[in-house]
Structure formats: C-alpha cells, structure tokens
Structure 1
Amino acid sequence: MITIPFSFIPPKILERLSKHFLNWGAFLEKLFPFLQQELGKANIKISAKQYLAMSFIATFFLFLFLGFCLTIIFIESGKVLGGIFIALFLSLFVFFMQSNYPKILANRRIKKLDADLLGALRAIMIQLNSGVPLFETLVITSKQDFGELSKEIKIAVDEISGGVPQIDALERMALRNPSPYFRRALWQIINAMKEGSLINKVIENIIINLNKEQIVQIEKYGSQLSPVAMFYMMAAVIMPALGIIFLVVIVSFIELDEIVVKGIFWGLLGFVMFIQFIFMGIIKSKRPSLLEE
C-alpha cells in the first residue's frame, strides 16, 4: 500500500475513499499520461486513476486545513480571500508533487538496482565458474543482501519453482524491471542461453562493460562537480557575506527597527540552510548509479 505524501488521512481510509472518486482520477489521468508507466517502474500495484483519486482527496483535505488556518490568520486584516488563494496555491503545488512522487520512487528503485548490479553479477559468475547450476545460483543470489535486485531474482526463482521455464522467467524479469543496465544484462544472458553459449563468459563480458560504464559515470560526475561547487560558493558563501556587509552599512545610515534587522538576519540564515539542502540534493542526484551505496 502506497503512502501519499503530505496526506493527513491514513492510507487505508484514503484507499477506500478513492473508490468513490475514480471518475475524477480518470479525468486527471489525461493530464498525466505517463503516470501508469512510472507506477509500474516504482513497483506500485495500483492504477493511475486510483492514485490520482487518492492524491485529489488528500489535497482537498489539505486545502480545507490550510484554508481554515490562513483564514483565522488573515481575518483580522480583512484579507480572507488572500488566505484562501494562498491555500489554493499551496494545495495545487502539493498535488503536483504528489503526482510526481511515483517518478521519484521509480528513480530511487532504478538507482538501488544499478548500485547492486555489479556485485550480484560478480557473485553469480563466481558460482557459475565453481560449477553451480544457473538455477541454484539464482536461488543463492536471491537470498543474499543485494536489496531490490535480490527481490527481483526471488520473483524469478519462485516462477521457475512453479514450473515456468528459466528463459521465460528471465524474460519476464527483464520486461518488468526499470533499470536499463539490469535489463541489458538479462537480455544478453537470455540470448546466450538460447544459443547454448557459456553463460559465465557472457556475464564476464557484461561485468567488463559495466566497469567501463562506471568509469565514464565517475568522470562525468567529476566534471559536473566544479560548476555545482561554484554555484554553492556564490549562493551560500559570497552572497550572504556581501548581504551582511551591505546590511551593516545600510543600518549605519538608516535607522531600522530591531525586529526588521533580526528578520533579515534570520532570513539570510534560512536562505543559507535552503541552499545547503539544495546542494546536498544535487550532489546525491548526480552520483553515479553504478556505484555501490
């Protein structure tokens, strides 16, 4: 069961309520044509229209809550409509984030699969070189600590145990998983099995190619760090320092209230903290996917 971000309603209740708003979800699905694909990549077992219906209900209750709070705040100044418009704007922003949440989960899942891929392939190659059959190798790998990749292999192992041919089970795994590197490796293994080639030699070539791709990703990551570090220095160090100097000069000529000065300093602190979070997010998102976490 998926948890909708920024929702005050428990997931079970939200799922029950969403069944009465599936028509709204079907209408909103036209605005997000790729949402069903992202839900599949994130391994979320609900339809796009139901997810959008759940997001719509969660956003509606959030709008009521924000509207009530902001109305109380703005009622003394007589700007009640302003509070309602702010609540509406924030609610629409939250709904947009909720609709993109499956894409974020899908990207996280892809990175987890990529991060464990090289380690899993090395483990499989060692076992195959030791004379262990492919099925037993898959069983052993599914029980090892390779995160999402072990879960995917476990599904294939269960299918093979249930009577599905090995090639068919591997093809299903290649079709359902979102990682391009994992998919490519699986198709090469499947082709080798169909042609009767040595699988361990194919996996060895896959590992060599992935190592080369890993080096390319690391070099690209290093080249991207310089402009990001320059942006960080400008936004989080130079601009706040110049702002404080400028503020000190202004205060020496113009008498400002103590509350205003404190507010500006707190604002600068909040801005620096915001830039810190943005910088950490950029560094994390640019990190090579084939590197182990």
Structure 2
Amino acid sequence: MEIVLSEDFSSVSLFVAVVATACCCVFALWSLRSFSLSNSVFRRSRRSDGFGGSMAKKNCCCSCSCESSVVGVNGEKTERRTALGSEGASMMEQLVPEITTHALSYLDYPSLCRLSMTNSLMRRAANDDNAWKALYHKDFTVEQDNVTPLNGWKAYYAATRAIMNINAEFYNIIRERSLQAMRRLWLQADYVKCVHGSGELFSGYDAVLESWRMSFTLGPGIAFQIRDVRVRVLTEMAWVTMQAFVDVIEAGPFHVTNVFEFDKGQWYMVHHHCSVMLPDAEVDHQNWQVMFGLQ
C-alpha cells in the first residue's frame, strides 16, 4: 500500500521541528549561563570569608536560641545570642512563680513526684523549693516556717516522711509485741536510753531490749492512739514529740519523745521517753515549785 503525503503537511512538520530545535538551544544556553553565575558567586563568597572582606554574615532573625556570629566594620567578630521569644513559651512558662506554686500546692506527695517525671519543664516546676515548703506545711506543721533546710525543702520533706514512717513502725511493733523487730529498730550502742510510762530509766542497748521483753510478757497488748505528732530533722539526728492516749490506763494521756540517729544509711531509735500528761488544772504554781525543788 502506498502512502502519499501532501505538500502542506510536509511544510508544517518542518516548521514545528525547527521551532522545537530552537527552543532546546535557548534552554541549553540559559542553563549554562545560570551555572556559571552561581559558581562565580560562590567563589567570591569564599574569597571574602577567607580574607575578612566587607561581606558580613547574615544575622539570624528567628526566635530560636541559636548563637550567630556577626562581623563588624573593622573585621572583629562579635557573638550575638537571640533569646527565646515569648510567643514560643508554653502556658506553664508564662505563669508567674507565685501562681505556679499555688497551683502545685494542691498536689499531694505522690502526685508531685509523678509530675516531676513528665518532662523537663514540669520537673523544674515540681522541684521548686517553695512548692515543697508549702507541701511540708500542709502535711506536717507550720511551726518550722523560718527553718532553712541545708539541702532544700524537697530533701527535708523526704527525711521528715522517713522519720514519720519509722516512728509509726515503732508503735506497730508495740502493738504486735515483736521483740525481734524491736531489736532491729534500736541502735546497738551503750548510750541509748528508754524511759517507760512508769518512770523507770533503762540505759544501754541490752537493758533497753530487756525492758521491752518484760513489757511484752506482762500481759495482753494495749490499744492506744497517737496524736499531735511533730518532727524536727537535722543532718544525722531527728526527734519526734507526740501525745499517746491509752485506752486501758486511767492515768490519762502521755507525753512521748522519740529520738532517732542516722547511722550507716538508716535511721535508728536512740531514745524513748514517756511521761504522764498532767491536766491543766493540776499544773499550778505550787506544782512547779515542787518539781524544780523550790519548796
């Protein structure tokens, strides 16, 4: 089969081919020129940086905390640090410290510890000394408002809670009448002392443990309640004052003082004193004179 092309079709095809070829040539020339200009600018910038020319580095205008080096007129370099913009701060960062402390004061001890493990911002807020001071006053007492703990209020709170726990363990041992647990609680030293509610004094580790053995074997256990617990902690010494209300004794409540010593990474009891609490009506001027030998 023979295909015949007309003259009009041949001329149109030739024109299209010529135009396409011309466009390709123009595009190739433009690409070569752009590449040459970019290399020239790069070489000039390298020479300027190498010989300390007048071209200065562009200063960072972002809101990040990066450090940018700026070349002065005389060629000296100065460091400029851009502060973090307020628009990038979180809601917690924008609060004043007083409001943050007040908000954290509603949290309890476990919640404040969990909050400090969420992220770095919450850790800084949860470790704030004022927050732990407020928590200490809420959980324990406001008597020590003027105290300045050596390692901060967080460490002071933890030490106070540890003393509260070991003091509660002491009375659980009495309820359970466990002599072995009482042995582990007391420090093995010759200067430990124990004064029971009867007023008798026992000095030394062996004598103190013997007094508790006799107390546990005399009769059944007694029921009592501990109230008004106050704790004071120093570096290696702590004491606890409280009131003990015994159900089976008609003599009335007792004033109790327990002293603990920190030895080899653990708190031990070194002193226990229990005395009968006198009613307010019996504490008169005459009793004070008899007590201090003035009569």
Bin for the TM-score computed over the shorter chain: under 0.3
Q: Normalised by the size of structure 2, how large is the TM-score?
A: 0.21
- TM-score, length-scaled by structure 1: 0.22
Which structure has the higher relative contact order (CA within 8 Å, separation 6+)? 1
Which protein has the bigger helix share?
1
Structure number with higher strand proportion: 2
Between structure 1 and structure 2, the one with the greater Rg is 2
